[in-house]
Amino acid sequence: MCLPQAMAGTIPEQFTRWFAAQGWAPRRHQLAMLDAARAGESVLLIAPTGGGKTLAGFLPTLVSLAEAPRDGLHTLYISPLKALATDIARNLMRPVEDMQLPVSIETRTGDTPANRRARQREAPPNILLTTPESLAVLLSLPDAGSMFAGLSSVVMDEVHALAGTKRGDQLALCVARLMTLAPACRRVGLSATVAHPAAIRAYVGAERVVEEPDGTPPDLSMMLPDGELSWAGHMGLEAAPRVMERIRDAGMTIVFVNTRAQAELMFQALWRLNEPTLPIALHHGSLEVEQRRRVEAAMAAGKLRAVVATSSLDLGIDWGGVDQVIQVGAPKGVSRLLQRVGRANHRMDEASRAILVPANRFEVLECEAAMLGVEARELDGDPPRPGGLDVLAQHLLGLACSAPFRTDDVYAEVCRAAPYANLSRKDFDDVLMFVENGGYALAAYDRWRKLFRDSEGRVHVRSERIARQHRMNIGTIVEAPLVKVRLVGKKRFGPLLGEIEEYFVNLLRPGDTFMFAGRLLRFLRLHENVVECAEGGTGEPMVPAYEGGRLPLTTNLANRVRGLLQNPSSWALFPEGVQEWLKLQKARSRMPGRSDLLVETFPRGDRWYLVAYCFEGRNAHQTLGMLLTRRMERAGYAPLGFVATDYVLGIWSAEQPRDVAKLFDQDMLGDDLETWLAESSMLRRTFRNVAVIAGLIERHHPGAEKTRRQVTVNSDLIYDVLRRHQPDHILLRATRADAAGGLTDLSRIAGMLTRVKGRITHMVLSRVSPLAVPVLLEIGRESVRTQDDEEKLLAEAEAIIAEATGEKEPPPPHRGIPDRSGVKTIHRPNQTRRRTAQTTLFGT
Amino acid sequence: MSAAAPIHLAGERLMLDPAGAMFWPATSLLVVSDLHLEKGSSYARRGQLLPPWDTHATLDRLTVLLRRYHPRLVIALGDSFHDADGSTRLPGGELARIRAMTDAHRFIWIQGNHDPTPPNGVGGEWVESFATTTLTFRHQAVTGANAEISGHHHPKAAIPARGTSVSRPCFVTDARRIIMPAFGAYTGGMDVREPAIARLFPWGGRVFLLGKERLYSFTLGTLRA
């Protein structure tokens, strides 16, 4: 690597002057990026946040255009966030204006007006900033070839956040296309520090890697309550007074929480304590976009003292002036914690300050493990999974919409995208067949095929109408059915506040109160798919929760927690209450080991409990719970329900579970899994996403813009029919592949079962162990269901209402069967919670 | 074998079947509504290549009911085909199955908004609506009508239970009418709280949600928003 002095000569004089005028000097990695550009090499820049990464990505483009001004598209910049693209464009204007460079810069996102979009196609700017979705639309247009032919570089920002996701698959396919259209184009990836740099390098296709060492290590501390540590709960609201103190003592704080529901609750808890009425705002993904933009603008302008935020603020531009980050609740992963911590003090030479606030005693262990992980810089993240076949289907139709193609050429091009490097020709052909005619064994749709092949074997889209329809449906983000929330005053039309999930709306009766957008709202009515509500109200408010709002604990952090538990010499790190708790566990039962699996069984009341200390994260535990209860049913233990946390799985049953090792046998992943998966709501949800992305089900149909977010047909019904008649259909294969890594986390279960084979330690106890207390306290807080459970829930609801209305006598109490309805209380991610205390709100 | 639930309308005893059909034992009459046959190919024609087995699946379910009840008369309450040309797109095998049904039973197709014209070559009778001495069968409920059996709305209801909600297709009934759930394999639903359905039941009513083996009954008032 060249020395900065040696390279300083390569930067044009006006740039040197500009840097000096800012009081900066070009950083080593910024110069290295210039060097890579001069060598014509594709490059991956890995640098911590605050490292001037974005400028490093653009510097070669600015220099090149300053030296040789030209018309047409030079650099394409792709960001995962629309807002980021807009902000970067604004920041980039500064050096361009200061130095009066002959460089035109524009953004193009879903929000760009149609006339500007049309102009951009005729006369593209030198630098176009966009998102993966907008790029996919551009590439599906007939003039894609001419628009991109002269492209010199494509810059992929926050590439670590895209690789391994469906949006990342889409981007990789688009970039492979760009490389066909403009073979001389350089790829530039900008990434935060990652666990798998080789995989990110392959994703970018970089010939060179420029790494900027991490800046000053962050200054992390843990904030513990004065009294006893909570045994359970994840909201951490009792910490609000201490969080408020820290906010008061600092300039600007971001309070990160893990779910949107937690954000709402924490925001309100803080405002109740906000005597000096400090400007404290709320930011999460379900709030109206304008509302979020206002909060971000206020942050950037330094007008706020604190923002309570979810992962909606994990990425994005430097807000500047953030003095500290407070993470309330479990950090879940080292990388995630680092990303969040990096939001404070976005300057490399100063330590970022962050405070961790565990919400319960297990989270104390997790916070401690995460701090050690940060110290050791042990990042987490699984190596990226293979690209999704649904994304490929969308992409192939897009290609055909742009221009006819030969299948061999496109297969070779697709395989050049890293996520599809190992794509088999059969899968490719099956996906293409799906796009062409649905790929059904019953060749029913020959008349309506979307593609046709000409005499030379080139694939064409059948009609311009199909192409238009396709472009309306490009994108890989599929949202759950959402309903807008509108605040209505006396005159019916008030502002939109954001969106909540449909299931939550079904729980609301007129007069019910709920917390949303930092307000206490009273439900009035559902009108044309909009929830209308008024401010204020009485009664216990509910808090809407969202699918997928919670991330599971990473494998890496779980290992660290296990390691801490196993090693009593490390317990000194913990507060006294936690130490005592662990010592007691050791005396009463034993500690979970690093490579074994501790399973405790004990009676309590008239039930038996089985607690397995798997540490594989909630998603995996949930799947495991479903599978184990099936086996326990067969073994005659009469399981009654289960609850899953990030750390353990707890199952309760009427009979004593005995042969525990057999329960955990690897063959669990055979037939049981197949039967359960087929019926599982998670697979249905996964299928819905796959079907929408692959274009089987359209989100938007010309002339039917009313139901924008809602898919036009019920995907569950389609799933049932397809599963019955063609179980090996390409979309069902894609669904199973997705589910294995996603909601069901099968890969983690499989890994665990292999690891613990022959190493299951079964402790038969006479009563609950200290370590099992938290999971027992979780019981009843949350519940989920399978298809069968739905029937039980309906039966129970029917019986309760009949009793209440006097239509039926209540059944006589049973002894020995505690749960007489037989309804399993099973873990549901993101359960709605009723607050126990009456809530009063500021300003209401 | 699933358990049908008896209800009374205009003095007649009618059995609501959890499969989403209604049987009138006194006249040996089986009613199904909104089959939406060939919905898959209707979508395919417009560019959404849904799996083509929906007609097959719907007829399979209807066959089970015909074997169970051996009805003398079968009424399909309209929207039997997803669009006016639906019957012309029937795959040969499915057309033959329908013909066998219309040969074996007296079969009445009631006109619906999706199928405003008589289907082609499927047999049976084609009528706008059908009335017996006590009951009237039509596709879409008429405000103020009495003793009426209709379909059209694809009613479904969501029951709050344990902090979540369970949503299923349902029958909606009061002393004057029954609205049938949709029977077709690809037919979604409309919430009974929507004004289009709710205004037909100004004095309340009951819903019967379809379950695997039985119906679940709730008053309309407990759902109303």
Q: Give the bridge partners for B174, in sequence order.
A: none
Chain B residues with CB under 8 Å of A783 CB are 162-164
Which amino acid is present at A471? Answer: R
d(CA A65, CA A275): 54
- What is residue A793's predicted lDDT score, i.e. its pLDDT? 76
Element (H, E) at B173: strand B164-173
d(CA B66, CA A574): 70
A784 with A826: CB under 8 angstroms?
yes
d(CA B82, CA B58): 12
Q: Is the dihedral of CA A788, A792, A794, A795 positive or negative?
A: positive
Model pLDDT for residues B25-69, shown as the tens digit of each residue = 999 999 999 999 999 999 999 889 999 999 999 999 999 999 999
d(CA A164, CA A169): 7
3-state secondary structure of A458: strand
Chain A residues with CB under 8 Å of B167 CB are 506
- Kindly calculate the radius of gyration of chain B based on its CA atoms and give it in whole angstroms: 17
Residue B79: closest CA among B209, B167, B181: B181
Supply the angle between the helices A82-98 and A53-67 in degrees, to the nearest 10. Answer: 50
Residue A186: closest CA among A219, A154, A220: A154
Say yes or no: A401 contacts chain B, CB-CB below 8 A. no
Q: Closest-CA residue in chain B for A444? A: B52
- Rama region for A195: left / alpha / beta (φ>0; ψ in -120 to 50; rest): alpha
In a mutagenesis test of the B interface, which of A440, A446, A450, A506 is the best target, namely the one with the most B β-carbons within 10 Å? A506
Q: What is the dihedral of CA A117, A121, A125, A129, to 10 degrees?
A: 60
Within a 13 Å sphere around the CA of A532, how many CA atoms are in the beta-carbon half? 14
Model pLDDT for residues A177-187, shown as the tens digit of each residue = 999 999 999 99
Question: Does residue A816 carry a pLDDT above 60?
Answer: no
Secondary structure of A587-646 as H, E, C letters: HHCCCCCCCCEEEEEEEECCEEEEEECCCCCHHHHHHHHHHHHHHHHHCCCCEEEEEECC
Model pLDDT for residues A637-646, shown as the tens digit of each residue = 988 888 888 8
d(CA A652, CA A631): 13
Model pLDDT for residues A608-659, shown as the tens digit of each residue = 999 999 998 888 888 888 889 888 988 999 888 888 888 999 998 889 999 9
- Reading the block at residue A399, the tokens are 């290609």
d(CA A831, CA A546): 8
d(CA A708, CA A719): 22
Nearest to B165 among A469, A507, A784 (CB): A507
In chain B, the percentage of residues whose pLDDT exceeds 90 is 83
For chain A positions 464-483, those within 8 Å of chain B (CB to CB) are: 465-466, 469
Supply the angle between the helices A618-634 and A746-756 in degrees, to the nearest 10. Answer: 60
- What is residue A784's predicted lDDT score, i.e. its pLDDT? 45
- What is residue A320's predicted lDDT score, i.e. its pLDDT? 67
Q: Where is average pLDDT lowest: A242-251, A465-474, A497-506?
A: A497-506
Put simply, the answer to whether B50 touches A469 (Cβ < 8 Å) is: no
| A402-407: long-range pairs with CB below 8 Å, 24+ | A402/A139, A402/A140, A402/A141, A402/A142, A402/A144, A402/A145, A403/A142, A403/A144, A403/A145, A404/A454, A404/A458, A404/A459, A404/A460, A405/A458, A405/A459, A406/A457, A406/A458, A406/A459, A407/A432, A407/A457, A407/A459
Residue A410: closest CA among A429, A438, A390: A429
- What is residue A2's predicted lDDT score, i.e. its pLDDT? 40
- Whole-number average pLDDT of chain A: 85
Task: Determine how many CB atoms are found less than 10 A away from the CB of residue B53.
Answer: 23
In a mutagenesis test of the A interface, which of B48, B56, B214 is the best target, namely the one with the most A β-carbons within 10 Å? B48
- What is residue A494's predicted lDDT score, i.e. its pLDDT? 83
Task: Determine how many CB atoms are found less than 10 A away from the CB of residue A547.
Answer: 15
- Mean pLDDT across the stretch B136-157? 96
- DSSP code for A254: E
Model pLDDT for residues B202-217, shown as the tens digit of each residue = 988 999 999 989 999 9
- What is residue A544's predicted lDDT score, i.e. its pLDDT? 78
Torsions phi, psi for A356 (to 5 deg): -100, 135
d(CA A460, CA B217): 53
Put simply, the answer to whether B51 touches A725 (Cβ < 8 Å) is: yes
Model pLDDT for residues A440-454, shown as the tens digit of each residue = 987 788 889 999 999
Put simply, the answer to whether A721 touches B193 (Cβ < 8 Å) is: no
| A103-106: long-range pairs with CB below 8 Å, 24+ | A103/A61, A103/A62, A103/A65, A103/A66, A103/A69, A103/A127, A105/A129
Nearest to B51 among A722, A828, A832 (CB): A722
d(CA A45, CA A206): 9
**CA distance to partner chain A, nearest, from residue B185 (Å):** 7
- Mean pLDDT across the stretch A522-537? 84
Q: Measure Cα distances from A567 to A561, A572, B74, B218 in Å.
A: 10, 10, 74, 57
- Reading the block at residue A398, the tokens are 């897009």
Residue B82: closest CA among B140, B32, B38: B38
Residue A179: closest CA among A148, A209, A201: A148
Say yes or no: B38 contacts chain A, CB-CB below 8 A. no
- Mean pLDDT across the stretch A22-36? 90
- Whole-number average pLDDT of chain B: 93
Question: Does residue A363 carry a pLDDT above 80?
Answer: yes
Q: pLDDT-based confidence at A744, cuts 50/70/90?
A: low
The most distant pair of C-alpha atoms in chain B lies apart, rounded to whole Å, by: 50
- What is residue A813's predicted lDDT score, i.e. its pLDDT? 46
Pairing of strands A519-527, A607-612: unpaired
Residue B187: closest CA among B153, B222, B221: B153
Chain A residues with CB under 8 Å of B91 CB are 442, 444
Q: Closest-CA residue in chain A for B50? A: A696
- Residue B117 burial (C-beta neighbours within 10 Å; 0-12, 13-18, 19+): exposed
Model pLDDT for residues A783-814, shown as the tens digit of each residue = 444 445 677 778 878 887 777 766 666 555 44
In chain A, the percentage of residues whose pLDDT exceeds 70 is 89
- Mean pLDDT across the stretch A204-215? 90
**CA distance to partner chain B, nearest, from residue A175 (Å):** 27
Pairing of strands B136-137, B130-131: antiparallel
For chain A positions 119-138, those within 8 Å of chain B (CB to CB) are: none
Which amino acid is present at A676? Answer: W
Which amino acid is present at A588? Answer: R
- What is residue A281's predicted lDDT score, i.e. its pLDDT? 94
d(CA A599, CA A728): 37
Question: Does residue A835 carry a pLDDT above 50?
Answer: no
Query: Helix and strand tally (H, E) in chain A?
Result: 32, 28
Element (H, E) at A436: helix A425-437
- What is residue A201's predicted lDDT score, i.e. its pLDDT? 95
For chain B positions 117-156, those within 8 Å of chain A (CB to CB) are: none
3-state secondary structure of A762: strand
d(CA A373, CA A354): 15
What is the Cα A643 distance to its own chain's centre?
Answer: 23
A329 with A373: CB under 8 angstroms?
no
